[in-house]
Amino acid sequence: MKRSRPIIARRRPIIAIDGPVGAGKSVAARELARELGYSYLNTGAMYRAVAVAAREAGIDPDAANVEERLKPLLAGLEIKFDGEKIFLNGRDISDKINQPEIGDLASRLSALRSVRERMRELQRAAGADGGVVMEGRDIGTAIFPDAEFKFF
Ligand code: C5P
């Protein structure tokens, strides 16, 4: 018999907020998380953190071997949030992620399968216990299709 839901349900729900750039997701997600006492996960910032790591490693997104070069970097990637701050492998990179070139690079890298797979893994781990408001464009569809609450 196939179960569509886990045997043990999450104790607290996952709230997915998906939408395009400039839709006001961040403000809504952050406020909601604060109100509920949940954690808040900005998945766009995670893609931006990958871009910071790739740029620092000198990885050219147009190179034929880009996925090969990203492999060790993605395997060792640790992204943590602390309030408004984001840490890449223990280092505060909050002042770097909003740079326009990092946004461009994040967008290009986000098209790569290996990057999306690693992000999915990290995002699922971060939401496994619920009690999280997760913001992005694929949360309610690809990352947590079984999220208890979805806003598009
Ligand atoms: O939302 P933000 O501009 O910070 O996201 C940076 C880039 O990461 C986007 O341009 C998009 O290409 C990618 N992204 C994604 N899936 C998400 C969040 C962001 O592909 N869930």
* Residue 7, pLDDT above cutoff 70: no
- What's the 8 CA to ligand 1 centre distance in angstroms? 31
pLDDT at 9: 76
Domain ranges of the chain: 14-151
Edge to edge, what strands does the sheet with 149-151 contain? 39-42, 132-136, 14-18, 149-151
With cut-offs at 50, 70 and 90, classify the pLDDT of residue 30.
Answer: very high
- Report the pLDDT averaged over residues 54-83: 96
Which DSSP category does 78 fall into?
-
- Lateral strand order in the sheet of 85-88: 79-82, 85-88, 91-92
**Separation of CA 3 and ligand 1 centre (Å):** 31
What are the helix and strand counts (H, E) for the chain?
A: 5, 7
The reply to whether ligand 1 has any atom less than 6 angstroms from the CB of 140 is no
**Ligand 1 centroid from CA 122, angstroms:** 15
- Nearest atom in ligand 1 to the alpha carbon of residue 123 is 21
> How many C-beta atoms surround the C-beta of residue 5 within 10 A?
8
CATH superfamily of 14-151: P-loop containing nucleotide triphosphate hydrolases (3.40.50.300)
When pLDDT is cut at 50, 70 and 90, the band that residue 117 belongs to is: very high
